Structure 1
Amino acid sequence: MHKIVKWAGFLCVSFLLFSGRPCYAVEQAAEFYLHNLQVEHMTEPLGLDEKVPHFSWQMQAAAKERGLRQTAYEIIVKDNRGQVVWNTGKVEDGISLNIAYAGAPLQPETRYTWTVKVWNQAGRVQEKSSVFETGLNLERQGEGDWSGAQWIGGDDDLPLAAHSLAVYKISYDMRLMPGAERAGFVFGANDSRLMDRNKNMYQLENKKDQSYIKLVVDVAGLKKSPAEPAKLKIYRSGYSPTDSPGQPLTSLDIPPEAINAGNLYTRHNVEVSSNHGILQFNIDGKKIELPQVNFWTAGYNVNPVGPGGDYISFPMVADIGFALDKGQRAEFSSVRILNYRSPGNTVFFEKITPDRPYTGIFSTKKTEGFSVSRDTYLLDGGKDGLLLTADPSHGSMPMLRSVFKVPAKQMAAARLYVTSRGVYEFYINGRRVGQDYLAPGFTQYNVTQLYQTYDVKEFIKKGQLNAIGAQLAEGWWSGAISFQGENWNYFGDRQSLLAKLVLTYKDGTQSVITTNPETWKYFGQGPVVLGSIFQGEIYDAGKEKAVEGWSRADYDDALWKKAKAVPADENTAFIGTWKHCMTGTVKEQNYANVSLIGQEGAGVNEVLTLTAKEVKEAAPQTFIYDMGQNMAGVPDIRIKNGKAGTKLTLRYAEMLYPENEAAGANAGQLMLENIRGALAQDTYILKGGDERIRPRFTYHGYRYLEITGLDKALPLRDVRGKVLSSVRDIRAGYETSSETVNRLWQNIVWSTRANFLSIPTDCPQRNERMGWSGDLSMFARTAGYITDTDRFLDRHLQALRDLQDPDGRFGDIAPIGNGFGGILWGSAGMTVPWELYEQYGDTGILQKHYEAMKKYMAYLDTNVAADGLIGERTLLELGDWLGPEYSKNEPVFLWTVYHIYGLDIMARTAAVLGQQKDADFYRGKYIQRKSWFNKKFIDPATHKTIKSDGSVMDTQTSYAVPLALGIFDQDNAPDAAKHLVAACTRENTDDNGVKRGPYALMTGFIGTAWISKALSDYGHSDIAYKMLENKAYPSWLYPVQQGATTIWERLDSYTKERGFGGNNSMNSFNHYSFGAVGAWLCNYSLGIQRDAAAAGFKHFVLQPQPDFAGALQRAEGYYDSPYGRIASGWRLEDHQWFYDAVVPANTTATLYLPVSSLPVARRILENGQPIDGNENIVFKGYREGKALYELQSGSYYFVIPDTGKEI
């Protein structure tokens, strides 16, 4: 018999599936014990900001006992003085999930001990204790009590990593000298990607000063005729094989109000902004009007790859300088590089001091024709012309430190409360506090921000001088944050820290140390030059010596400056209004009412370590490592005997260009087009000797890692990948007799890991990584099985509420908002809280979100037209996204389905919360809209789906979604199921006119989530299995056949025959949406299903669906439910099949076993014995081809003498 040993612990010590005997634990010490005590679904949480926390625990049988259940419980909560603040007394109830606190008001910054006592069915008692600790803000309003701590950071001299900055403004003054006709300013020069043929798509290998963008003010025509406008000419050199240094890309008219015959030789200001290569210009404040380049932005595009953030981004600021033709003379001054988005602070400006030697960025250039006078650069083209460039980069990410004396007293506790605008790592006495990456995580910072709480007692040295400090980086507060360059520095452009350290002594006294500019210092020349989520990390190990021991008390900080207060005001943050690009809604963004809330759920952590599998030399000193698995994370590289000053460049890709004609000379190189506007590049400068490269302030989505700068390849063992995720534990397993199906499951798990990273992202690699609501809505059910999503997605619902429009509309993206999608995306604000409730029985989530849900449903009502059709009537409302039959599925059909589904959820939610009047109201609207739908979208003669104009739809999606969500009425549903089967088993033609064979998956993001469920719900699991097992495009297994190790954005993102099929840009190889089939694998293939009447798995359903007619001979797996591990597995053999199940303690299950007849049901054996007389199994009859049983807790082994046909 087959045994699963890798899933040890199914019941207590091990669960041996299909062993042919009962699967019992071996521990005999007690009848049961308690474990997994949690508060708000967290174990021993610190900094809990909940006035009414909820308590949960699990029972576990210590031996082979079946039927173990809780009959009563008692909870006692005591404060840190031992005083009882809540005693439930003995409560006669079997619930052990989400018990709401109902004691005396909890106090902030207080440690509580809670003890739960449980009585079982035999009257035996066990008890167990745990702790939780409250935070600073139990009211969850405002910042809470930070004891006067201030946000602090560096000064106004903001750092600049010019070769990584893709969105910016440049401003300069220029004056042509009398007689001169033109002069140019240069930027984007000497980009290292254009100086190495392996780092650009065109195999360019420019020498120094051969690649640049040049802006030339040319008045030659104006000199000849006052009627002729002055020109702004744009030149591009070395960016494309077609570039010509002497030929402008374009020539733009300068408004005569700016430059005219009367002011030719006076000083003029030129301002250019670059948004991923789309340029806009102002001359003396007069805008040069330019046409729309893409959907988002007007301007002139100089990026040869493509306009805007959807393409590899050029030009960076890179090197800047001046260019004059021979015989031309000009003056330049007030050269500034500024951040693009408000507050638009300056990141480069040379303050030239008169009467002192010039020491600026051009001072090392011994260039004839260049000099400095007072505050002005003087330039003379002379006989040969002049081209002068230099790198304006300077500074590093902020570092902060302080010291304080600790009395020589016995310490009872030490707590650090800390957060940042940007991301941080905190240190005490030379040791890092915590293991999180990218704390405090991504939220809608202008409304809600998280802080972390750490127990730091062991870090503190009593009776001594102690030191604390923090390293800051951009995170999501600053830098790149989305596919729109306009969102660079979305919240602000200066990082800051807020911290409070509380030392409590055994004599009851306290010391409180807070962040403030009086006692803290700042340093801006540390080794972390840049820490950017999208752009990567620049680390100069040569700078480590200056900060060696910087977080210890004995460090000499004489070169450090006094820290500055950094409030979120118009000088440091975006303050003002912004307009939604699709809806036109105008919103105010400020920081007047920010709530600081203690960490909820997991942050970002290392969860796995991978070792490189292969390495190849792609070019001299360039090596590509294959990690063997697409992942989200950072490398961990060991360098031995490195040479000081060596620059290593690390680049990341999900795929390599294939060896085909389309790839050309790029074959075998990193495919970065799908990374789009994200640079995704780390730079490390060696200090010499043995070193370890571990970026900490970025992350990448990748399988392939390219390292440039090594003389020879590093051993595979020295190149590792740290997998980063907010998914600390995988809560479900699934395995079958098919390796390709097993790989599909693993791909779903890996995409969950990669995209549940602080927020639920769409992808982990490109310049997006955003909380797209539609993706999450479709995947939330699958995610709820794979990992514990309760706190993680509750956090995301907070972001949805933070961004909800005044009219009730939920955003398509959260945090930050904007984006597009419409009803199928915004409905996540309805579907996700309901999924969480059904999975975890957490009414608290529904209570918090209830009013927002009501507002959203009221908003949808306003979008129902007089003819009954619904639609937001905004730009880019999506339908069945990326489906092969996208154009055949009318979006308004799906919008209507989700409107009705939302009304159903609303009615159910109101009933759960005891809002019966609301429940009746929404149920009435649900019935009304459902009736209207069935009349509008169903052909009365054929019962096929039709569009709003009456034309036939008849697609997989149009049947699957309403069937799965219960939108067809009882007259239409049976025929809809038949039509769905027909749509699945016939040949279909996709939107490109290509015929696809039977069992092809013709659904997109929306339909895919529901098609298998719809088939199984109506008795067609055989068809669902055939679609699952199909390996031809489009199908779930097609990417697996192509080598996928994660779920792809497109089912044909890559093919061995056609490569990327022309979809190089929008082509994520780590996108969980099509992985929504994972819920069906758990719910139907394994048969582990929720009971709608008992949310949270107190009672659940086991309804395995063996693949009687297909290729799978077995399937087995588990789900770690809120009450414990549920296991389920089946195996087919000859004319019988075997089924194993584990029902966790304190739960019951209804089992449905598919058999052909009642007589066969009577012959089913459990553990080798007839079922009759078994007190833990009650036969409930035979119904619709299934034998029904009620199971008490325990392990079960059934032998069914039937494989779908009576023997």
Structure 2
Amino acid sequence: MSVTWSASMITPYADLGSAPLFRKEIELDADHGSVESAVLHVSSLGVFEAAINGRPVGDDVLSPGWSSYEWRVRYRSYDVAALLEERNVLTVSVGNGWYRGRLGFAGMRELYGDRLGLIAQLEIGFADGHRQTVVSDETWTAIASDILADDLYDGQTIDARRRDPDWYTFGGSQRWVLNARTLDFDPAKLTPYVGPPVIRHETLAPVKIWSSPSGRTLVDFDQNLVGWLRFTVRGPRGSEIRIRHAEVLEDGELGVRPLRDAQATDRFILSGGDDFFEPTKTFHGFRYAEITGWPGELTADSVEAVVVHSELRRTGLFECSDPELNQFHRNVVWGTRGNFLDLPTDCPQRNERLGWTGDIAAFAPSAAYLFDVNAFLSDWLLDLALEQRHHEGLVPFVIPDVLKLLRDPAGFPSRDSTAVWSDAAVWVPWTLYQAYGDRGILERQYESMAAHVRRVGTLTSPNGLWDTGFQFGDWLDPDAPPDKPADAKADKGVVATACLYHSARLVASTASLLGRSEDAAEFTALADRTRLAFNSQYVSADGTILSDCTTVYTLAIVFGLLSAPLETAAGNRLAELAAKSGHRISTGFAGTPFITDALTQTGHLDTAYALLMQRECPSWLYPVTMGATTVWERWDSMLPDGSINPGQMTSFNHYALGAVADWMHRVVGGIAPLEPGYSRVRIAPRPGGGLTWAKTSLETPHGLVQVSWRVDDGGRLAVEASLPEGVTGVLSLEGSPDRELASGPSSFG
């Protein structure tokens, strides 16, 4: 909905010492008949919640989220006709959120501005055609609310003694009131949401309440989740309930060291009556809560955990005969949910929670199967393109690029393009095109895609290799020291040059699709030069690749850098290295998303399954054996003895290493697109790993695709598939010729 803004961005005249509650009394214009329409448009510098006569205008929380505030501030529009009476009170509370709260790992706040702001415009249409418009301006007031403190990292403090029913009563008097004043703000920055809002999804009850060795009351929700606790309670006036959150336990107490200096603590001060508390201006990543000061007995009915993330429709399902592999897949799903809170983040719990580009570059294919993320990631890509456009084609490490605002974080590398991370500008839109078949995403992001590859082309050495500048490389290689996550076995130049080739090929394909023939020729030539340089500088005559480790062979195979004979040799060496490691994982962020594909592509399916089904550390299933309910940042975020990894950086909710789910969907389950958007489908399950059955389904843009298979005691494979109306496909089974599939159900074997 396009809005012509006449409202002003307003702020309290002075600091109120709490989250401000903006207030405006509204009388409907008389003698114009019934209200036929009423739409409230709202945005803020900070995060807002709006209500009319005390009733929320929508289900969303933490709006308008986090965008690149310098150039784009999103607004939400609400149909509020059903909420209006003859006399009304419009209130909007605004918290610090991402705009003014703490951001990043350098302990800084107010990186975008030091004043919270609100802009609101209520447009009312009457039966006789009359229009009434109410806008935020200096006639509004700002009240000191019951929220004494709010921060995404540190938590929220609510004092129920400060609540006043007059806040929501027309003509009511209020305490701690200031007039509003206008802020200098360009309304041209305001843009409607492209992606979905953040909402509450479900609630979880405690499964266990007990006393820790130190006598603290601990609560287990049996799931690492993102959100908060809410409850109704009665206790002595002025008493305080304190809730600390953590993902894991260590030595029987909350394991808070991985949070670094994020306090993750909510405080609730009681009024003496029945108080309802819900801290909606923060969020926590947690499974466990430590509750102090609860009046009386704390039971499973006393509190509930509210799960919060962006409103995403689940599209892809997977299940198989192995319970632990099913749990791993559930962990991937929950990790996606927890980190898709307004933008794709690295983690939801410590003092970071940033939109790291490398994580989503690796994970986008898995996400696009599990959920409809088209709008969600398209919104984030708009900010990526904006940041890039203002920085000479550089795709930063995080989007929005808050790191550029940090004042010289100690030991942090200089900013420039880096493989995998900056490649998100290309890989993510291409993934969305493959998943949803909409060329519009390529058209919108093409300049960004091309600018990234052109910039990297200027960073290569005279020999054509991308072996200059800082690289994360195969980040978090399990053989790297805990305090040196970039010290991987894979040569950084090999990783970066392979990624340049892959991105150049994808941009060349995109240019061809969009009819940009000159650009297609330019990027094809760059890809060809890069492939030649890679082979001449990094690949020996016998197929050995520099640094001779799993990740370099993986990338060379999957990205198509090798001739057929050399690819065969590389596949054999990759399988040999995997076996030599005892089929334990030996790849980091760069190699992990692709290693099972590289093995499958070169005829080593059994080795790929051996990696997938491994239980010993490091492996995908090791965390499952340790009770994990989300994917970890490190393969050994928790050590076998139950202690937390000694490194200063570890999280128990990171989705990047769960990128193997994409292979599970395509190879174990058997569903892959033959054409973008699944207008034609490849049904190609490849049983192995001791699995006796699997079933998977995907709600595509054309309808539901379903595949199930079972291996009987005699080793015979039976497959059932179903394609939606108008969709055809190809069935590909090992040992049998491919056959065409028509719409509808089919059975084989």
Q: CA deviation at 1:552?
A: 3.2
Query: Where do 1:990-1069 residues align within 5 Å?
Result: 998-1057=582-641, 1059-1063=643-647, 1065-1069=648-652
Distance 1:779 1:620 in 2: 40
* Contact 1:1049 1:1071 (8 Å CA) reproduced: yes
Distance 2:147 2:597 in 1: 50
The 1:552–1:711 alpha-carbon spacing in structure 2 relative to 1, beyond 3 Å, is: closer
Aligned to 2:482: none
394, 400, 403: which one aligns with 2:25: 403
Query: Where do 1:361-372 residues align within 5 Å?
Result: none
* Contact 1:621 1:710 (8 Å CA) reproduced: no
Deviation string 1:209-241 (CA, Å, 9 cap, x unpaired) is: xxxxxxxxxxxxxxxxxxxxxxxxxxxxxxxxx
Distance 2:565 2:194 in 1: 46
Q: CA deviation at 1:1006?
A: 1.1
Q: CA deviation at 1:937?
A: 1.2
Q: CA deviation at 1:593?
A: 8.6
Aligned to 2:106: 484
> What one-letter code is carried by the residue in structure 1 that aligns with 2:543?
H
Matched, 1:451 2:32: no
The 1:618–1:690 alpha-carbon spacing in structure 2 relative to 1, beyond 3 Å, is: farther
Aligned to 2:677: 1096
Distance 1:150 1:699 in 2: 29
Distance 2:540 2:322 in 1: 41
What's the secondary structure of 1:453's corresponding residue?
Answer: strand
The 1:619–1:1027 alpha-carbon spacing in structure 2 relative to 1, beyond 3 Å, is: closer
Distance 2:720 2:49 in 1: 48
* Contact 2:465 2:534 (8 Å CA) reproduced: no
Aligned to 1:471: 93
Deviation string 1:1003-1051 (CA, Å, 9 cap, x unpaired) is: 1011000001111222322211111111111110011111111000011
Deviates more, 1:758-767 or 1:918-927: 918-927
Matched, 1:888 2:489: yes
Q: CA deviation at 1:955?
A: 1.2
172, 179, 184: which one aligns with 1:562: 179
Q: CA deviation at 1:496?
A: 0.9
204, 208, 232: which one aligns with 1:638: 232
The 1:620–1:1012 alpha-carbon spacing in structure 2 relative to 1, beyond 3 Å, is: closer
* Contact 2:704 2:724 (8 Å CA) reproduced: yes
* Contact 1:839 1:1096 (8 Å CA) reproduced: yes
Deviation string 1:488-546 (CA, Å, 9 cap, x unpaired) is: 111012111001111112222211110001x211112x2111121111110001111xx
Distance 2:537 2:472 in 1: 21
Matched, 1:1078 2:657: no
Aligned to 2:484: none
Deviation string 1:862-882 (CA, Å, 9 cap, x unpaired) is: 1011132214524xx211011
Matched, 1:901 2:502: yes
Distance 1:872 1:718 in 2: 57
34, 37, 44: which one aligns with 1:420: 44
> What one-letter code is carried by the residue in structure 2 that aligns with 1:446?
E
Aligned to 2:551: 957
Aligned to 2:516: 915
* Contact 1:621 1:708 (8 Å CA) reproduced: no
Query: Where do 1:674-693 residues align within 5 Å?
Result: 674-693=258-277
> What one-letter code is carried by the residue in structure 2 that aligns with 1:856?
H
Matched, 1:515 2:99: no
Aligned to 2:393: 808
Which structure would you say has the larger Rg?
1
Distance 1:433 1:1133 in 2: 56
* Contact 1:533 1:699 (8 Å CA) reproduced: yes
701, 705, 718: which one aligns with 2:285: 701
Q: CA deviation at 1:1152?
A: 0.6
Aligned to 2:409: none
* Contact 2:593 2:660 (8 Å CA) reproduced: yes
* Contact 1:479 1:493 (8 Å CA) reproduced: no
Matched, 1:1121 2:700: yes
* Contact 2:97 2:281 (8 Å CA) reproduced: yes
Q: Given the two structures, how large is their TM-score scaled by the length of structure 2? A: 0.94
Matched, 1:537 2:156: yes
Q: CA deviation at 1:717?
A: 2.3
What's the secondary structure of 1:750's corresponding residue?
Answer: helix
The 1:402–1:955 alpha-carbon spacing in structure 2 relative to 1, beyond 3 Å, is: same
Distance 1:701 1:742 in 2: 22
Name the count of aligned residue pairs: 727
What's the secondary structure of 1:921's corresponding residue?
Answer: helix
1151, 1164, 1172: which one aligns with 2:731: 1151
Aligned to 1:927: 528
Aligned to 1:1105: 686
Aligned to 1:780: 364
Distance 1:482 1:555 in 2: 41
Deviation string 1:1124-1152 (CA, Å, 9 cap, x unpaired) is: 22111111102212111121122111111
Distance 2:467 2:73 in 1: 33
Structure 2: where are the runs of 5+ without partners?
A: 404-411, 480-486
* Contact 1:751 1:1046 (8 Å CA) reproduced: yes
Q: CA deviation at 1:728?
A: 3.1
Deviation string 1:770-818 (CA, Å, 9 cap, x unpaired) is: 0000111000111110111111111111111121153311111111343
Q: Given the two structures, how large is their TM-score scaled by the length of structure 1? A: 0.59
Percent of aligned pairs sharing the same letter: 32
What's the secondary structure of 2:738's corresponding residue?
Answer: strand
* Contact 2:463 2:533 (8 Å CA) reproduced: no
Structure 1: where are the runs of 5+ without partners?
A: 1-46, 48-134, 137-144, 160-394, 569-591, 658-666, 947-952, 988-997, 1156-1185, 1200-1207
Deviation string 1:61-117 (CA, Å, 9 cap, x unpaired) is: xxxxxxxxxxxxxxxxxxxxxxxxxxxxxxxxxxxxxxxxxxxxxxxxxxxxxxxxx
* Contact 2:104 2:402 (8 Å CA) reproduced: no
Aligned to 1:8: none
Deviation string 1:1100-1125 (CA, Å, 9 cap, x unpaired) is: 21111111xx3211111111111122
Aligned to 1:648: 241
Deviation string 1:1032-1081 (CA, Å, 9 cap, x unpaired) is: 11110011111111000011111232612423x31100000110011001
Matched, 1:1197 2:742: no
154, 160, 164: which one aligns with 2:12: 154
> What one-letter code is carried by the residue in structure 1 that aligns with 2:401?
I
Distance 1:601 1:980 in 2: 40
What's the secondary structure of 2:677's corresponding residue?
Answer: coil
What's the secondary structure of 1:823's corresponding residue?
Answer: coil
Aligned to 1:304: none
Q: CA deviation at 1:964?
A: 1.4
Distance 1:692 1:806 in 2: 47
Distance 2:692 2:53 in 1: 59
Q: Which of structures 1 and 2 has the larger relative contact order (alpha carbons within 8 angstroms, sep 6+)?
A: 2
> What one-letter code is carried by the residue in structure 2 that aligns with 1:565?
T
The 1:558–1:873 alpha-carbon spacing in structure 2 relative to 1, beyond 3 Å, is: closer
Distance 1:492 1:1048 in 2: 34
What's the secondary structure of 1:550's corresponding residue?
Answer: helix
C-alpha RMSD over aligned residues? 1.7
Query: Where do 1:178-193 residues align within 5 Å?
Result: none
* Contact 1:646 1:685 (8 Å CA) reproduced: yes
Aligned to 2:124: 503
* Contact 1:727 1:756 (8 Å CA) reproduced: no
Deviates more, 1:767-776 or 1:813-822: 813-822
Distance 1:500 1:753 in 2: 32
Matched, 1:870 2:487: no
* Contact 2:23 2:90 (8 Å CA) reproduced: yes
* Contact 1:522 1:561 (8 Å CA) reproduced: yes
Aligned to 1:769: 353
Distance 2:605 2:191 in 1: 46
